[in-house]
Amino acid sequence: MSQLRHREAELEERRVRPALVTFETGPALRAYIARTGLRWPVLIDERRELYRAYGMDRARLWDLIGPGSWLGYARGMLRGHLPRLPHDDVSQRGGDVLIDPAGVVRLHWVGDNPGDRPPLELILERARG
């Protein structure tokens, strides 16, 4: 999410309109918005219907504690993002979906671990297409 937020001007230029989909509600969601300064629309999917529709099922234990997860945390720390204690369902997979104005899915990325997100260049490339 943070790499997208750092290049918002470029996303706007390409008419990419990000939105956050979460199952979180209440204080945890408000704290996240306040901490990050998020200005994008937030869609709450408490029943996780969108997650299931896009194949974002539960992660296995190895996905959460394995080398891919540690590498993702290390990359974040190198960018100054310290890991936080979890307060929500850490086994829920996340991902990124890019849908064009005609409703065509241009990118469908399901994360292998909590830090697994597509490269921003891939998102921009698909937005150009």
Q: Each residue of 48-81: pLDDT tens digit?
A: 999 999 999 887 766 666 666 657 667 766 777 6
Q: What CATH number was assigned to the domain covering residues 2-128?
A: 3.40.30
19 CB-near residues (< 8 Å, 6+ apart): 40, 41, 42, 43
Residue 12 has pLDDT above 90, yes or no: no
DSSP string, the chain: -HHHHTTHHHHHHTT----EEES--HHHHHHHHHHHT--S-EEE-TT-HHHHHTT--BPPHHHHHSHHHHHHHHHHHHTT-------S-TTB--EEEEE-TTS-EEEEEE-SSTT----HHHHHHHHH-
63 CB-near residues (< 8 Å, 6+ apart): 69, 93, 112, 113
Q: Each residue of 87-129: pLDDT tens digit?
A: 677 778 889 999 988 899 999 999 887 778 898 889 888 888 6
Q: Where are the domains of the chain?
A: 2-128
Residue 5 has pLDDT above 80, yes or no: no
Asked if residues 22 and 40 have their Cβ atoms less than 8 Å apart, the reply is: no
What is the model's pLDDT at position 2? Answer: 60
What's the pTM?
0.71
